Structure 1
Amino acid sequence: MPHTPAPLTGAPSSPGNAYDVLAELTAVLAEHGITLPSLELDRATLTSPYTEPLIELGRCNLDTARAISAALGR
């Protein structure tokens, strides 16, 4: 019989909170001139009772990767 994970207990992040975090991350990246075209919420985790919502950072080109590195101080 396959193992089914137990639902999260406590106060997991809500989908509304996930949208707020996504908006905050998008705004902070924009302040540094960075746009991640595939930045979005992971739809599978957004509706799952077994995990908190995840944010897909997606793929980016080399210039964007360099900009992120520079913004993070590397």
Structure 2
Amino acid sequence: MISPRSHEANTHVAELQAALAAHGIILPSLGVDLPSVVQTYRAPLVELGNCNLDTARALTAALRKAAGR
């Protein structure tokens, strides 16, 4: 059975993946940090993982565009 914390974390990761994909950005190692899901004293963490320079540039450009710069 999936815990509510795990379900919530997975939902947010899926939403982040979709939002990034809308800008053509794919982070292959994006996911939930599993050890943080089982902890009871803080919210689960999201692993953004590694990306190459092209992906980093695309992410920077998307964030700047969203900020109006």
Q: For this structure pair, what is the TM-score category when the shorter chain's length is used for normalisation?
A: 0.7 to 0.9
Query: Residue 19 of structure 1 aligns with which residue?
Result: 10
Query: Residue 67 of structure 1 aligns with which residue?
Result: 58
Q: CA deviation at 1:18?
A: 0.7
Q: CA deviation at 1:54?
A: 0.4
Amino acid at match of 2:42: T
Which is richer in helix?
Answer: 2
Query: Residue 30 of structure 1 aligns with which residue?
Result: 21
Query: Residue 52 of structure 1 aligns with which residue?
Result: 43
Give the gaps of 5 or more residues in structure 2: none
Query: Residue 9 of structure 1 aligns with which residue?
Result: none
Q: % of aligned pairs identical?
A: 53
What TM-score results when the alignment is normalised by the length of structure 2? 0.84
Instruction: Count the aligned residue pairs.
Output: 62
Query: Residue 4 of structure 1 aligns with which residue?
Result: none
The CA RMSD measured in Å over matched residues stands at 1.3
**Which protein is bigger by CA-based radius of gyration?**
1
CA distance in 2, matches of 1:51, 1:44: 11
Query: Residue 31 of structure 2 aligns with which residue?
Result: 40
What TM-score results when the alignment is normalised by the length of structure 1? 0.78
Q: CA deviation at 1:63?
A: 0.1
